[in-house]
Structure 1
Amino acid sequence: MSKLEEHLAEKGILLADGATGTTLFDMGLQSGDAPELWNVDEPDKIRAMHKGFLDAGADIILTNTFGGNKHRLKLSNDAHRVRELNAAGVDRAREAAAETGREVLIGGSVGPTGELFQPLGALTYEEAVEAFSEQMEALVEAGVDVLWVETMSAAEEMKAASEAAKDKGVPLILTASFDTAGRTMMGLPPKGLNDLRAEFSCTPVAIGSNCGVGASDLLAAILEITEADPEAIVVAKGNCGIPQISGKDLIYSGTPDLMADYARLAVDAGARIIGGCCGTSASHLAAMRGALDSHEKTDRPSVEDVIERIGPLVSPPNKAAESGESPRRNRRRG
């Protein structure tokens, strides 16, 4: 078994980390700057970010490499630094983990290219595989325990990432963002992720959902995924409550107590790897750690139960608006 599967067999439920982007913005990262540059330019801050999540009890931390492919890095004229920045991201995570005195899993974060595939855009399938392979090779060579592909939207891009992960020697986790009326931006429903897995060149050891909109919406997606395949190892990495605009700032409504309840509901819904995405700080994660340590799995919740305890759905499936537009995907995790 891989280290990930060994940890799951031993602990049953694993706690993943919180929001990279939110934490780094709080440390001074400016909007529009590439966070991956901080792996080299601000190593102490990246280690401090990881340390906060580790001190909160995370079993898995993700590298600061979400936008570490050449298509994203070209926006800052750093496409030639893919291997350097990804390797440095793994090094910073390993350095922080070494200080804990316990075994921690390092997930190599791989986000979307930010490009649209042909015929909607210019990116070819082969170019996507090439870009993902370049990043993944750097992550694996630097010593990640798992390749963690996240915030995916398009089936073609998920297939390209899975092909790139084939024969890399570490397990693959793949999560999608169901942020558009209960589907991904490109129209994939949560249950479709289970069906799509059979078409992947490298079968993920775990699938699930991250980011999106509110925590309730994410839990609704998890319920659909686990209903379609109760035996799947499922990841839930939801945003900290609901995003709200306050002046120039984006504030997330979730309190530590709310995120603790979210973690309990995620367990009851069938998730086995649980963490936080945008807005989730170390203090939120500590509350989630406490909830997971004290919670015994109980009856499977309904969507109505989730709404009652966590809050309303931000993007209900039955209110989907038909749109022919396919916006360029420039989102960042956290």
Structure 2
Amino acid sequence: MGDSVCAHKELTGGWAKAAQLPRPDLSGLAIKDGHLKRALLGQDFLVVDGAMGTQLQERGLADAGQIPELLNFSHPDDIAAIHKAYVDAGAEVITTNTFGANRLKLEGAASVEEVYRAAVGCARAAGAPYIAGDVGPTGALLEPMGTMSFEEAYDLFAEQVRAVAAAGCDVVLIETMADLREAKAALLAAQENCDLPVFATMTFGEDGRTFLGTSPEVAAEVLSSMGAHAVGLNCSLGPAELLGAAQDMARRSRCPLMVQPNAGLPRVEDGVTVFDVSPEDFAAAMEGMLDAGASVIGGCCGTSPEYTRELRRMADARRVPAPRAYEPACVLCSA
């Protein structure tokens, strides 16, 4: 299955009308409890935590002279305190502090398995209801844009996924992907190396596409067709700017829609990175995301427990996710 071109055509011509979502296949999965199962079926909301980086910055740990993943060893109480603040605000899914925990980025400072074990320990100490093993991009461009092969990327991700499972996570979270081929390598690695639910999010720019040109529709169609258990977007922009992308993904995704926007666009004030969307404005803009059918909801860069508290309130008020205008189609994907 290729990446960059996706043609949608109903056999009778034109676009298909909205239809009932196909029921996800959850057979063979290790699902922690009934609430998580209902969330995977799109029947319950699932509230995910927010940013780690800005919380580290607030605690003076962003300049600790080491990569953030190693703070799980040197400052476990601080990491656990950040997680607990999100739990107290109503987050159900706590994301491990492992965004860059692959063999390339760690450069031998610790093993991948050690980092995930320490990170899960911090999340567990915070009382996380569900722990998502965070898997970010490799940091290298895949061929033909770069020199890393698909197989090399797969091997890196497979090592991470095995560490996620061994550490006792409940979900694999593949996030902030700009290259659909890299996202596919990560998703395949997750499916073939563990039995956990897998969430996958891409990041889109102001032009409505990823850095390498993938549209929201293509990303949703490919990743959900491959079997991801939640598909969506995160990072880059605020909820108002990403609403169109979320609506496009909602129509094409065969599984629950996941959204984790930034708190707007960052700017630097007195040497500190700040964001321009308040928790209240963030929540107001997220109403459109929930109207589009998003059911796995959280925040990314610049968000904090205050933003999570607003999302918890919204989910509790709505109780069940909105129906989605899913459009079944005969789809051809190719390079």
Whether the 8 Å contact between 1:125 and 1:156 is mirrored in structure 2 is yes
Judging changes above 3 Å, is the alpha-carbon distance between structure 1 residues 299 and 175 closer, same or farther for their aligned structure 2 residues?
A: closer
Match of 1:22 in 2: 54
Deviation, 1:266, is: 1.8
Judging changes above 3 Å, is the alpha-carbon distance between structure 1 residues 280 and 140 closer, same or farther for their aligned structure 2 residues?
A: same
Deviation, 1:262, is: 3.0
Q: Deviations over 1:99-147 (max 9, x none)?
A: xxxxx11111100001011232221111111111111111111111110
Pairwise mapping of residues 74-85 of structure 1 onto structure 2 (< 5 A)? 74=107, 77-78=108-109, 80-85=110-115
Match of 1:44 in 2: 77
Match of 1:184 in 2: 210
Whether the 8 Å contact between 2:224 and 2:231 is mirrored in structure 1 is no
Match of 1:304 in 2: none
- SS at structure 2 position matched to 1:240: coil
Q: Residue 106 of structure 2 is aligned with which of 73, 87, 92?
A: 73
Match of 1:116 in 2: 141
Q: Is it true that 1:208 corresponds to 2:241 in the alignment?
A: no
The structure carrying a bigger helix percent of its residues is 1
Q: Is it true that 1:235 corresponds to 2:265 in the alignment?
A: no
Which sections of structure 2, spanning at least 5 residues, go unmatched?
Answer: 1-25, 326-335
Q: Distance in 2 between matches of 1:12 and 1:166?
A: 23
What is the percent sequence identity of the aligned residues? Answer: 38
Q: Distance in 2 between matches of 1:44 and 1:52?
A: 12
Whether the 8 Å contact between 1:263 and 1:274 is mirrored in structure 2 is no
Aligned residues between the structures: 290
The ranges of structure 1 where at least 4 consecutive aligned residues each deviate by more than 6 angstroms after the TM superposition are 296-301
Q: Distance in 1 between matches of 2:314 and 2:295?
A: 14
Q: Distance in 1 between matches of 2:289 and 2:235?
A: 14
- SS at structure 2 position matched to 1:107: strand
Deviation, 1:14, is: 1.3
Whether the 8 Å contact between 1:264 and 1:292 is mirrored in structure 2 is no
Q: TM-score if structure 1 supplies the norm length?
A: 0.81
- SS at structure 2 position matched to 1:150: strand
Q: Distance in 2 between matches of 1:207 and 1:177?
A: 11
Q: Distance in 2 between matches of 1:242 and 1:291?
A: 23
Whether the 8 Å contact between 2:239 and 2:286 is mirrored in structure 1 is no
RMSD value, Cα: 2.3
Deviation, 1:240, is: 1.0
Deviation, 1:8, is: 5.2
Moved more, 152-161 or 245-254: 245-254
Q: Deviations over 1:47-102 (max 9, x none)?
A: 0010000000001111101110112222xx52x5211111111111112116xxxx
Judging changes above 3 Å, is the alpha-carbon distance between structure 1 residues 95 and 10 closer, same or farther for their aligned structure 2 residues?
A: farther
Q: Distance in 2 between matches of 1:199 and 1:8?
A: 15
- SS at structure 1 position matched to 2:127: helix
Q: Distance in 1 between matches of 2:200 and 2:296?
A: 12
Q: Is it true that 1:249 corresponds to 2:279 in the alignment?
A: no
Whether the 8 Å contact between 2:293 and 2:322 is mirrored in structure 1 is no
Whether the 8 Å contact between 2:202 and 2:210 is mirrored in structure 1 is yes
Q: Residue 54 of structure 1 is aligned with which of 52, 74, 87?
A: 87
Q: Residue 278 of structure 1 is aligned with which of 289, 301, 316?
A: 301
Deviation, 1:22, is: 0.9
Q: Is it true that 1:291 corresponds to 2:317 in the alignment?
A: no
Q: TM-score if structure 2 supplies the norm length?
A: 0.81
Whether the 8 Å contact between 2:47 and 2:91 is mirrored in structure 1 is yes
